[in-house]
Amino acid sequence: MKVPKALQNADRSGAVVRTFEYDDGSVIAVDFGHAGDALTVDILGSTAIVVTDGEQFEFELPPEATDVSVQNGVLTIEE
């Protein structure tokens, strides 16, 4: 699964973006660190809107995405 372009640029804000490939799927994990304390995500159709500390990232979810969640300042997109 490819990291959406808007999230590829999140590392400029201090976020750490990683992709993990497994036999049965893949996971994109974006750790917003301290800025992720107020992290929220809304899904509207195939569009995700992530808001953290006054910054907003809007992007189309990868077609393979089956789950999007937020926990402890980490956004995960799973296949």
Q: Map out the domains of the chain as residue ranges.
A: 5-78
- Hey, how many other C-beta atoms are within 10 angstroms of the C-beta on 52? 24
pLDDT confidence of residue 6: 83
pLDDT confidence of residue 36: 59
Is 11 in a helix, a strand, or coil? Answer: helix
pLDDT confidence of residue 68: 94
5-78 has which CATH code?
2.60.40
Q: Tabulate helix, strand, coil % of the chain (nearest 5).
A: 20, 50, 30
Which residues, given as ranges, of the chain have pLDDT below 50? none
What's the pTM value of the predicted model, to 2 decimals?
A: 0.85
